[in-house]
Amino acid sequence: MRRAIPWSDDETGGLCLADAVRDSNCVGNATIGERVSDRESRINSIAPSALRYLPAKVTKRILVVDDNRDLAESLALVLRLWGHDARVAHDGRTALDVARDYTPDVVFLDLGLPCLDGYEVARRLRLRPEMRRTLLVAVTGYGQEDDRRRSREAGFDLHLTKPVDPIDLRPLLADGAVH
């Protein structure tokens, strides 16, 4: 079980960021006079991945598309905590509508969607001039080689098989990341 990590430096306890909310407690924030390096050491000893939860330096516009509402909303929440502007859609048609009005930099797109599947959504997004440079990432339970081939043909840049740890998505969102 991972423990929660502090999100703010106020002495009243601040907010906790946890990837396992149940059964977790805030590890405490900096005390008066505690040096930043001491606090960072304490955080890193408790949660080695703590620094990966800090907000992004560059804000991206991200569309998360998945018919699993809990998964989509949870990923969007993590992306927002990292400082990104995230929107959510739960079916293919809604994803196209949101993308038209929102023009995301990145789309995390499930393949098995109602209305239009993820392959067709990707094809239609790639037809739009404003979406040609958008990073399209398939995040799906479909992991066979044929699924990956179809993803490439539909215009996806990457194909990730669920379950995907949100921390593994972080490098994709870095400024200047090569895709």
Q: Which residues form the domain of 42? A: 5-53
Can you give the pLDDT at residue 101? 95
At residue 140 the predicted structure's pLDDT band, cuts being 50, 70 and 90, is very high
Number of structural domains (the chain) is 2
Instruction: For residue 128, tell me if it sits in a domain.
Output: yes
pLDDT-derived band at 60, boundaries 50, 70, 90: very high
Q: What does pTM read for this prediction?
A: 0.70
Which residues lie closer than 8 Å to 173 by C-beta, 6 or more apart? 56, 58, 60, 62, 79, 82, 84, 106
pLDDT tens, position by position, 148-176: 999 999 999 999 999 999 999 999 898 65
Classify residue 178: in a domain, yes or no.
no
Q: Three-state SS for 84?
A: coil
What would the mean pLDDT of 8-20 be, rounded to a whole number?
A: 35
Contacts of 33 (CB under 8 A, 6+ apart): none
- Choose one of 53, 69, 86: the last residue of a domain: 53
